[in-house]
Structure 1
């Protein structure tokens, strides 16, 4: 009865107090046993060892009290020490469980850098997560209002809340992120309202970090002009892009397969970024060098007129885009073509 009451009161005590009380109990008990039985416990370490194996119920039996006084104190440890340490272990287990629960509910701030933030969970966002994992395997932070994380993985962190709020973006460590993908809210059927929400989110991101690369999905192309005061780097048309690709495939058979292959890293030749090599002075030099390795240079950033600019000098900040398979790309990285 006494032990049960003690444990109930201990459970209600402050965790820090219980932890320090346990340390004091172990330390004091070790000193007491060292004083009572100096021959059994020749050093303080042996006494601490015996106390720890006793209160954790391990009981190796290599050390044990032989005197009446030592055994009486051992009985005290059986009653008080084991119960106290049991409460400490229970609180540690509860703490880990609470931590896991808070992580699943998106209530733990993310701390990291060079991660990709995905705003708005949907089927499209799930495809984006799979593509990121296939491409770079970097850390991913998802922001949404779902009650629990849509994906439970070690490298995927969930933040619950409104992405237009500064605190939520701060919890996602937006200032240290590598890129942000803002997906259109599929629950809003009015394209004007959906793109308006994306505009507010993009404005909130810009207010906190003007350097981050931001890609926004919009439902109508004519709404892009409304983003002119916001530094959005890329726009993706959600429904119009699919419709246009379908029309192109009707006139040019097989073109849809080319689009799909370039958009996905799953198979075949894909689009990769290659930074400027120190030995390349013109686009022609870069084009010829990459072609010999099995890669085709097609663009510098969003400019696809490389074939008309072959003799122009390349700036050190240029972002060259090539088409090749993954094996060639890995070979190019191994030869330090990226700089």
Structure 2
């Protein structure tokens, strides 16, 4: 029994062990001085109070031993209890600093739920994190990256985990089982094909642990889009297509590109979203529905029907039950 107690005791964190020893020492000295000088310390609490004040070297003087044995007990308490208390506070401060360093260096597990996991660090990731934090300050975000040595945005609500995102132990540290969504960005330090292969490998690892979590994956090469879909990508973002569009059109019309980029900037400040087709709008034409939503301050851009996206479809175009409306809503 005693060996089992000692074995469990030594496994406790250092600051808890020191705290228990300090409390045991203070209570023991408080009981001893109460039994030794009952007139000076009428109750056990008075003795414990004196022991706490003496061990902490405050020394109010409201309770003072009169006998030689009582004063010797005070000396012994100062030599032992004060040391244990000082050690406790040092251990507590060390534990706090260690925990803070673990958080900063990406070594601490994430314990929250319904969070967004963003994988990979680059300028796109920086913009994504800033936008997510600005739109919803209460949302929890976990950043996974192996190239960073510490949290790049320590002043934001971002939990950093350092490690390779295709390893189960790293994804488990990010609590992948309770994540709301995963965003996988391409590694800018690799070639396009190797970056896509790394993104798909990470996607496979994520889906292997949590098949239900929605995953948005950045793919650079067109030939890897099909593989990303097979791996379970819910949304695929082909950033090179957008870059090519801007560069090609800038050759023929700089004004068109400037207007397009300005439009993207405006969309970033508004709520571009999907709305399911409610029963009231089924069988309505796109034009009639557009006029009706415009009265509510909602701009109808197009329709998402299955895998096909139709922007401003030709008239007449009838809304079906499975359609999703692509709309811009004012904040």
Q: How many pairs does the alignment contain?
A: 304
What is the aligned partner in structure 1 of residue 43 from structure 2? 43
Which residue in 1 is equivalent to 2:296? 293
2-structure distance, mates of 1:273, 1:62: 72
Deviates more, 1:32-41 or 1:77-86: 32-41
- Identify the residue that residue 131 of structure 1 maps to in structure 2: 131
**CA-to-aligned-CA distance 1:204-230 (integer Å, 9 cap, x gap):** 111111111111111122320122321
Q: Extract unaligned runs of 5+ from structure 2.
A: 1-12
Return the TM-score normalized by structure 2. Answer: 0.81
C-alpha separation between the residues in 2 aligned to 1:37 and 1:299? 89
Give 1:76-155 correspondences, 5 Å limit: 76-137=76-137, 138-145=139-146, 146-153=148-155, 155=157
**Secondary structure, aligned partner of 1:41:** coil
What is the rounded CA distance, in whole Å, between the counterparts of 1:150 and 1:186 in structure 2? 17
Contact 1:246 1:256 in 2 (8 A): no
Distance 1:117 1:291, change over 3 A: same
Match of 2:167 among 158, 162, 165: 165
Structure 2 residue matching 1:228: 3-state secondary structure: helix
> Residue in 1 aligned with 2:280?
281
Structure 2 CA distance, aligned partners of 1:163 and 1:185? 11
Written as runs of structure 1 = structure 2, the 5 A alignment for 1:260-279 is: 260-262=265-267, 264-265=268-269, 269-272=270-273
Distance 2:205 2:30 in 1: 58
Q: 1:333 aligns to what?
A: none
C-alpha spacing 1:47/1:232, structure 2 compared with 1 (3 Å): same
Deviations 1:240-278 (A, max 9, x none): 31231344563736122112221x23xxx331455788x
- Which residue of structure 2 aligns with residue 329 of structure 1? none
- Rounded Cα–Cα distance in structure 1 between residues aligned with 2:16 and 2:51: 21
CA distance in 1 between partners of 2:49 and 2:301 (Å): 69
How far off is 1:199 after superposition?
0.9
Alignment partner, residue 254 of structure 1:
259
Indicate whether 1:217 and 2:218 are aligned. yes
Q: Distance in 2 between matches of 1:276 and 1:62?
A: 78
Q: Does 1:60 align with 2:36?
A: no
Shift of 1:185: 0.7
Find the aligned partners of 2:246 and 2:224 in 1 and give their Cα distance: 20
**1: CA distance, partners of 2:145 / 2:68:** 65
Which of 322, 330, 334 in structure 1 is aligned with 2:327? Answer: 322
> Does the residue aligned with 1:235 lie in a helix, a strand or coil?
strand
Question: Residue 195 of structure 1 corresponds to which residue in structure 2?
Answer: 196
Q: SS at the partner of 1:118?
A: strand
Distance change >3 Å, CA 33–CA 311, structure 1 → 2: same
Comparing 61-70 with 196-205, greater Cα deviation is found at 61-70
Give, in angstroms, the shift of residue 14 of structure 1. Answer: 5.4
Shift of 1:151: 2.0
The two structures, once aligned, show a CA RMSD in angstroms of 2.9
SS at the partner of 2:107? Answer: coil
Q: Would the alpha carbon gap of residues 311 and 46 (structure 1) be closer, same or farther in structure 2, given more than 3 Å must change?
A: same
Query: What CA distance in whole angstroms lies between the structure 2 residues aligned with 1:42 and 1:271?
Result: 74
Q: Which segment is superposed worse, 297-306 or 88-97? A: 297-306
Contact between 1:220 and 1:240, CA under 8 Å: does it hold in 2?
no
Compared CA separation, residues 29 and 310, structure 1 to 2 (3 A): farther
Equivalents in 1 of 2:172, 2:116: separation in Å?
Answer: 14
Question: How does the TM-score come out when normalised to structure 1?
Answer: 0.79
* Distance of 2:280 and 2:48 partners within structure 1: 70
8 Å contact from structure 2 (residues 299, 329) kept in 1: yes
Offset of 1:128 from its aligned partner?
0.8
How far, CA to CA, are the matches of 2:240 and 2:17 in structure 1? 59
Distance of 2:293 and 2:60 partners within structure 1? 67
CA distance in 1, matches of 2:75, 2:182: 61
